[in-house]
Chains A and B, each alone.
Chain A
Amino acid sequence: MSRLTALIADDEEAPRAQLRAALRRCWPELEIVAEAVNGVDAWDAFLEHEPAVCLLDIRMPGLSGIEVAERIAGRAQVVFVTAFGDHALAAFDAGAVDYVLKPVDDERLAQAITRLRQRLDQRATPPLPDAALQGLLARLAAQVQRPAPVDVIQASLGKEVRLIRVASIVYFESDARYTRVVHEDGEALIRTPLKELLAQLDPQRFWQVHRSVIVNHHHIAAAVRIDEGTMHLVLHGRPEKLPVSRHFQGRFKGQ
């Protein structure tokens, strides 16, 4: 039998532990492979573990649960976990979006699990239509406020602090404990992890193409498919090629 894996995400420790305990009681076969304490961790953990089921808190630092679900885009079954007061969810009670309320009670969780199992057995595409998520995002916009995207990245270089305009950045790449910032006039190392940068950058301009690469799409010249699972990006006037992992290849479909 194949493993049944899950990711749970909640920014508060106790509700997360409560959810974990409830899942152990109600669904012992489910293996919790990752626990995330914010939205960026949740997304990163999804890319790393590719779990079949994601239970996401809606209000989390970094990325909201809904934004994470939007990125997961049907590659896993998503159940939202939320405290009372996110009325927007009630509108989707019909089943478009599954959710459980905190504190999680076993009975309600068991219902959600039954539905999850049915969908997993049928190998149905997860019922998270984009329109439903967009609607949810719009409704929650007032509740989940996002700070303005940064327009300057500060990088220390010896004794000086370089200010790098975000518009001049070509790509970011994870490099061990640092993030390498490649811009038009050179490169720099910063301490902010790539997954956290993701939440601070304008998603219209910067596209994540790999768990460890974010690229400014103005600099992409071409996406080249090598074989079934491999793709890379060619940049304007630069020799290096950036890998595109399977999850992100959908973005580059010939029209």
Chain B
Amino acid sequence: MSARDRNTERIDWGQLMYPGPRPDFSDDQLARGGTDRPSRSFLIAAAVNLVSCLVAALQLMPVAVTGWVLGLTLAALFPAYHGAMWLWRRPTRRRLLLASLAAMALFLAVAFVLRALQLEPQLFRWIVNALAALSLACAMGFWIITLFRAHQIQARLRELDERERAIAMARQLATAQIQPHFLFNSLASMQHWVDSGDARAATLLRALTGYLRATLPLFQRDQLTLGEELAAIERYLEVMQTRLGERLRFTLDIAPAALDQRLPPGLLLTLVENAIEHGVLPSLHGAELHIVAHRDHDRTRIEVIDSGVGLPTTPQDGVGLTNSRSRLAQAWDDSARLTLQRRPEGGTIAGLDLPLYPLTHAPTHTAAPTPAQRPA
């Protein structure tokens, strides 16, 4: 049971003296879930209640008082409606208390004024009773509106949160772009090693789990550091290394000063995946892969170098590359560069040349504030 569940079980004695919803909504929450006006059916229900209570009350009173009570009720409608709307817009227990006190003070003031008129004592007593009933009715009405409205806003906020979480999850899976081809080829290797009791099954499973765990949270954030991105890349390379054995030889040469370079998440991973898919895998005798990063004053240069088959005759930017370019432009306009060149001795160099800090420090997404999990 969570701490929150336990809290709702404890009796809040404060409600006895100072009733109303807790905790108060913030301005942001009200802007997200509390900007609507009361619906027509809600207003009709309130009116029907009011009229039936009034009819019932009038039955109890002498006919002579009816005019007075009707008049006072009609006069009270205007301030009561505005008080109710004031609570509707911000249903807090402070406002509830203030509105109820104001109603009481108003009716008390009316009672003093009427006393000055020197009415017949019998009639005056009935009027005072009616005023007391009206102020009680106002307080009850305010209380109901406040609670109803607070519940309504809470439910709406919960619904909005859930929808945003679902959208964030869908976006995350879409941007993670885990290649089904990569996944199922890894599973095919794992299947065999499990069947044949080969110890490589455990290595591959560990690397693949680490890769998935590191990759999915990557995309919850708008930016992350080179160090964080490299953690996911290393897991990816471990998976490929286990599968390919001698065919893949890789080294990482990262200057410590470059580790806190900011990157759009998954961008470097895409370049590494491309180097493997289009450079190393199609190469008859395997290939080498080097990832090099160094810092030069306020810029960082990252290169993914492979000694594979090289670019095709008419290199076309795949979806991955076009996507990467637009993400770079989003963060840096045109001061960031992504280049792809043929390596003279065979293979390809993918180069990233970035200013240390992005133009805008985009805020992290509030709907999914989970920090990126690091695999152990």
- A interface residues with partner B (beta carbon < 8 Å): 11-15, 17-18, 21, 38, 40, 59, 61-62, 83-86, 101-104, 142, 144-149, 196, 199
Contact = CB atoms under 8 A, between A and B. Distances in A.
Contact of B282 (A61, A83, A101, A102): A61
Interface stretch (B35-43, B118-126, B216-224, B310-318): B310-318
Contacts of A86: 181
A145 B311 CA distance: 9
15 contacts: A12-B243, A14-B198, A14-B200, A15-B192, A18-B191, A21-B195, A40-B284, A83-B180, A101-B184, A102-B187, A103-B192, A142-B318, A147-B309, A149-B313, A199-B284
Nearest to A57: B185
B332 interface: no
A136 to B, nearest CB: 16
Interface in B282-326: 282-284, 309-313, 316, 318
A61 to B, nearest CB: 5
B180 A84 contact: yes
A66 B154 CA distance: 59
A15 B184 CA distance: 10
Nearest to B185: A83
Given A147-B309, A147-B311, A18 B188 contact: yes
A63 B15 CA distance: 78
Interface in B29-57: none
Interface of B is mostly: helix
Nearest to B186: A83
Nearest to B315: A145
Contacts of A199: 284
Contacts of A14: 188-190, 192-193, 198, 200, 243
Contact of A12 (B189, B196, B311): B189
A94 B176 CA distance: 33
B245 interface: yes
Interface of B: 179-181, 183-185, 187-193, 195-196, 198, 200, 243-245, 278, 281-284, 309-313, 316, 318
A250 to B, nearest CB: 28
Contact of B180 (A38, A59, A61, A85): A85
Which 5 pairs show the lowest CB-CB distances between chains A and B?
A18-B192, A14-B189, A85-B181, A148-B313, A103-B191
Q: Which of the listed residues B189, B193, B284, B316 has the most CB atoms from chain A within 10 Å of its own CB?
A: B284
Contacts of A12: 185, 188-189, 243-244
Nearest to A195: B284
Contacts of A142: 316, 318
Given A14-B243, A145-B282, A83 B181 contact: yes
Contact of B281 (A21, A59, A83, A85): A59
B309 A84 contact: no
Contacts of B187: 102-103
B184 A103 contact: yes
Q: Which of the listed residues A59, A104, A147 has the most CB atoms from chain B within 10 Å of its own CB?
A: A147
Nearest to A147: B309
Given A83-B180, A83-B185, A85-B184, A147 B192 contact: no
Q: Which of the listed residues B188, B190, B278, B318 has the most CB atoms from chain A within 10 Å of its own CB?
A: B188
Contacts of A147: 282, 309-313
Contact of B196 (A17, A102, A144): A17
B189 A15 contact: yes
A61 B243 contact: no
Nearest to B192: A18
A196 B285 CA distance: 10
Contacts of B310: 147-148
Given A21-B196, A103-B192, A61 B281 contact: yes
B98 to A, nearest CB: 64
Contacts of A104: 188
Contacts of B192: 14-15, 17-18, 21, 103
